[in-house]
Amino acid sequence: MGRPFGIPIVVSPTWFLIAAFITIYFGGQFDHTRLGDRLGAARYLVAFGFAVLLYLSVLLHELAHSVVAKHFGLPVRRIVIYFLGGVSEIEREPETPGREFAVAVAGPALSFVLAGIFWGIWEALPSTTDSSPTGLLVVIYLVFAVWTANLVVGVFQHAARLPLDGGRCCVPSSGR
């Protein structure tokens, strides 16, 4: 798919399953809403747009891990985006607990930054009324959805359980 920072990106075929699920599920959530009534079947296109934006958020999360790892001289084989998220394939462990912590915390930190950026955009968008343009309603929906998704990813990844990032953050403090 590409090689940002020289890191190969691979999209597993299983990602398309979750993209289809997100599209069908979130498209259905528009039923009997002002936006859904205006969009009709195009609501599934908006839901697919959310799936793509979520994928890009996961990719940026994993890139954050990988870029920090490369900064410390660790070889990164690739990033794989799959059914339940993504994984940075870093070929060896960081040499110090501080470096391991930095690599582990980079992803959730970026997710929180993205959440903050999208929250700021959401706050800056105008209020809506029944006569608001459909395009504005779509933008507000997508910005809100990406904001909350990144917040959830950041919080979830901070859970102090392996293999989540929060568990990786605890490993350095335990002294291995």
Provide the pLDDT confidence category of residue 173 given band limits of 50, 70 and 90. very low
What pLDDT shows up at residue 155? 87
- The per-residue DSSP string of 90-130 comes to ESS--SSHHHHHHHHHHHHHHHHHHHHHHHHHHHHSPP--T
* Distance (Å, whole) CA 53 – CA 38: 22
What pLDDT shows up at residue 176? 45
The whole-chain average pLDDT of the chain stands at: 88
Query: Residue 88: is its pLDDT beyond 50?
Result: yes
Q: What is the pLDDT of residues 113-129, one digit of tens each?
A: 999 999 999 999 999 98
Active site residue 62: yes
pTM of the predicted protein model: 0.86
Contacts of 13 (CB under 8 A, 6+ apart): none
Which of the following is catalytic: 62, 89, 93, 95?
62
Contacts of 35 (CB under 8 A, 6+ apart): 43, 46, 134, 137, 138, 141
Query: Residue 34: is its pLDDT beyond 90?
Result: no
Query: Residue 86: is its pLDDT beyond 80?
Result: yes
Q: What is the pLDDT of residues 36-75, one digit of tens each?
A: 999 999 999 999 999 999 999 999 999 999 999 999 999 9
